[in-house]
Amino acid sequence: MTTSGCRLLPAWTALLGGALLASMGLSKGASAADASDDTGLQEITVTAEKYNSTIQNTPISISALSGEQLTEAGITSVEDVAHEVPGLSMRSAGPGLTEYEARGLASNGGAAPTVGFYLDETPLSPPALSQSGKVVIDPNLYDIDRIEVLRGPQGTLYGSGSMGGTVKVITNQPKLNTTEASVQGTLSDTQGGSGNGGGNFMVNLPIGDTLALRVVGTDTYRSGWLDRIVVSPFPAENGTTRGNVAAGPITGVATDVNTLNLYGGRATLLWKPSDDLSVTGSAFIQRMVLGGYDDFDTPPGAGAAYVGHYEAFNVAEPIADTVHIYSLNAVLNLGFADLTSATAYWDRQEHQTQDASESVSFSNGAALVPLPYSEIDVSRQFSQELRLNSNNSDTFHWVAGAFFSDLNSLWQEYGANGIYAAPSDPTGIIYESDNPYTVTQSALFVDGSYEFTKQWKFEAGLRWYDYQSRQYEQEWGYDAAALAPPPRTETTAANHGFNPRFDLSYSPTEDLTTYLSASKGFRPGGANQIIPPYSQPPHCAGGSLNFGPDSVWNYEVGEKARLFDNWLTVNSDFYYIKWTDIQQTLLLACGYEYEANAGNGRSFGPELEINAKLSDSWLLALNGAYTDARLTQPNAAYLGFLTGTNALTQSGTPYCPTQSGCTSPILNVPRATGSATLAYSTTVFNDYKLTARATANYTGQTYDEAYNFAISLPAYTIANARLIVSKDNWSANLFVDNLTNKVAELTSNNTSFQFNIPQLVRYTTNQPRTFGTQINYKF
């Protein structure tokens, strides 16, 4: 049986099982578009400030989607969530290869992200030195309680790497004395590809009166739609320009290579011996395997007869991402406060292979030879947080705690061909590296709120942090500084400081909250890759082996309003961010990457969310953000570095960062984003609920980079539609994703961890129009 056939089995099982159970009449209604009860819009409980509140009563910029809303919208990944909330953007090469940005704070530079990422209480960090970016895991979102997106610096409660915001994925927890289960099956077909399928299940089992176990499993297959095209002889002009690869001669085509197989599970055990103590242990395991990148080549571009990657040799580009997360959380009621201990350990291993035949030929002027180029990123982190949350006071609430984390990240690359063999390099290593990287962080924090009156509340927080990073670097090979492994080069960085926040809110009525806030966030500095002193063109010059931390101050004014008995909510804010010592990744003319503190910048803009229950049947949701993020004060070292072959150019002319006094856009930040959803629900045949839902997500123009060029990525809109029928415990729906079959250019060359070259840009693109059906059943 084929791999795709194996992956489709869970989908068929879940679909048939759901249909059988539904036909037996075991049910209680799944509310397909019921975002409210008869009194208005439903409010979601959030824990953004480490205690329970609602979005409307929390005086910070926050969005949240419940598990029910995720299912109704067909959202299966955090990447999809980024389109549904304002101010959050992303840079992605496909599943498991996505980095997130918020409020214009791009994360393409440095060794840490600008947006924090949590799975329940576990902080998840991307690889510290991976050239594939600050990519976080892509957890399956079945049986999720909610996702919270916090915008603006969250450095007081969530620490470094959260200076632009924080994304929290919060799972459903085991239930005592309750037996329940659910299944979900999905089948679909992608235009230009083939069939897709997936199955999910959940079981909650009580064990006596004090124990409960909740188990979730998933198995998903996504077909590919992009091809790997072999052209021989490969048309190259003067070693710097691609010929007409689309005209051939094409000697082989591997179709639909960018397949996805995802499978895994989550098991959570709750022990609650009394009302004052609960202990929860969880294990999460997920493996994701892709047959290739979601990329197409330019030239020839998306309009070519074969869309995908053109190669001189048939070099496959598989990707594997395996994650293990283990956590133990305990909450003890001390009377005056709850004591929480959150302990976690996780292990992530990413393996990628890329075709480097063309790029290595350009970098050293040699003939084309087959060259698979591999990167391995291994990340392991232990973290511990202890905190006290006050109890029994609505007037004065406080939280205080301590945090520690130890991240060990290993970055390895390897590419070789015997044609480059030498006495000191018998296997013909083009490039090999072995770079262990550690980041140790400690912090103490306190945060609290005090209600002076029923209308006025003041919040403040402070976090003391200390971090130390250390890199041991070795690199060798034909395109490195040495042919044999040299002694390790040690580079260290360290810093400590404080992150404060202040917030004053005024609520003249229960339906209106206004606030002013100021908060600080930071990101650790780190170590650079060694740039070899090239003697042959293209020349390449490296700078400092260290880069420093960067930080932001965020100033914000906002409001949250409920109108017409909570049938309408309008949440909006305007922020201004001052960004100091911006960490920026530079792609050099010799193909290497270099990290630098580019100078100072700023970002500002409005954010808006509107949810309206137009009638008992109609629901409208709108959101949008405008982000003006720019480097306004490039420093002298950065400007001096961007000269000659290191100059970042656009269309053959120097790009703005090389000019003193200019203001250039921060890379990877769309200026405008927006989303609109319209849902209609009614009752048919007396007791069946019918819901129709349409969504359009807009992403404005942005800039990326490839080789040492600035790339302008055009704006795009993706539309989705769903038709849902539900009754009691089951729901069935038909859906169309990417309704207009839009081919978008999401990013450029962020998968190019091997040497960058001027004649080829690889654009990440989205999935074509996909038709499908899904059945959900709860019992």
Per-residue pLDDT at 12 exceeds 50: no
Q: Residue 238 in 3-state DSSP?
A: coil
Per-residue pLDDT band for 11 (boundaries 50, 70, 90) equals: very low
Residues of the chain with pLDDT > 70, as a percent, come to 87
Task: Report the distance separating Cα 101 and Cα 88, nearest Å.
Answer: 6
193 Cβ neighbours under 8 A, 6+ residues apart: 223, 224, 225, 256, 768
385 Cβ neighbours under 8 A, 6+ residues apart: 121, 340, 341, 342, 401, 402, 403, 404
DSSP state of 425: B
- What is the mean pLDDT of the segment spanning 108-115? 82
696 bridge partner residues = 676, 719
- Pairing state between β 227-231 and 277-290: unpaired
627 Cβ neighbours under 8 A, 6+ residues apart: 87, 89, 103, 104, 603, 604, 605, 669, 670, 671, 672, 673
Taking only the tens place, the pLDDT of each residue in 689-721 is: 999 999 999 999 988 877 767 788 999 999 999
Per-residue pLDDT at 356 exceeds 70: yes
Q: Are 420 and 363 contacting, i.e. CB atoms less than 8 angstroms apart?
A: no
Q: Which residue has the tokens 């980041």?
A: 439
- pLDDT value of residue 267: 98
Task: Report the distance separating Cα 340 and Cα 327, nearest Å.
Answer: 13
Tokens of 46: 């959030």
Q: Which of 64, 138, 178, 169 is nearest to 778 (CA)?
A: 178
- What is the mean pLDDT of the segment spanning 108-125? 88
- pLDDT value of residue 751: 60
Per-residue pLDDT band for 367 (boundaries 50, 70, 90) equals: confident
Domains identified in the chain and CATH numbers: 3-778 (2.40.170.20)
- Pairing state between β 308-311 and 227-231: parallel
End-to-end CA distance of the chain: 32
Task: Report the distance separating Cα 627 and Cα 671, nearest Å.
Answer: 5
The CA-based angle 420-421-424, given to 5 degrees, is 125
Q: Which of 228, 82, 91 is nearest to 749 (CA)?
A: 91
Higher pLDDT, 432 or 657: 432
Higher pLDDT, 96 or 732: 732
Tokens of 666: 């921060």
CA dist 167 to 64, 91, 162, 271, 778, Å? Answer: 10, 15, 9, 27, 28
256 Cβ neighbours under 8 A, 6+ residues apart: 193, 194, 223, 224, 225, 226, 227
Task: Report the distance separating Cα 361 and Cα 338, nearest Å.
Answer: 62
| pTM of the model as a whole | 0.89
Task: Report the distance separating Cα 151 and Cα 162, nearest Å.
Answer: 9
Mean of per-residue pLDDT scores for the chain: 85
Tokens of 508: 């003249």
The CA-based angle 768-773-777, given to 5 degrees, is 140
Q: 152-161, 602-611, 643-652: lowest mean pLDDT where? A: 643-652
Taking only the tens place, the pLDDT of each residue in 489-503 is: 888 888 899 999 999
- pLDDT value of residue 35: 42
- pLDDT value of residue 750: 62
- For the residues of 163-192, what is the DSSP string, one character each? SSEEEEEEEPPP-TT--EEEEEEEEEEETT
Q: How many CB atoms lie within 10 A of CB 240?
A: 11
| Biggest CA pair distance of the chain | 83
Q: Are 155 and 549 contacting, i.e. CB atoms less than 8 angstroms apart?
A: no
Q: Are 701 and 671 contacting, i.e. CB atoms less than 8 angstroms apart?
A: yes
Per-residue pLDDT band for 23 (boundaries 50, 70, 90) equals: very low
- pLDDT value of residue 589: 65
What sign does the CA torsion over 232, 233, 239, 241 have? negative
Task: Report the distance separating Cα 113 and Cα 617, nearest Å.
Answer: 42
Per-residue pLDDT band for 543 (boundaries 50, 70, 90) equals: low
Higher pLDDT, 135 or 258: 258
Q: Are 720 and 735 contacting, i.e. CB atoms less than 8 angstroms apart?
A: yes
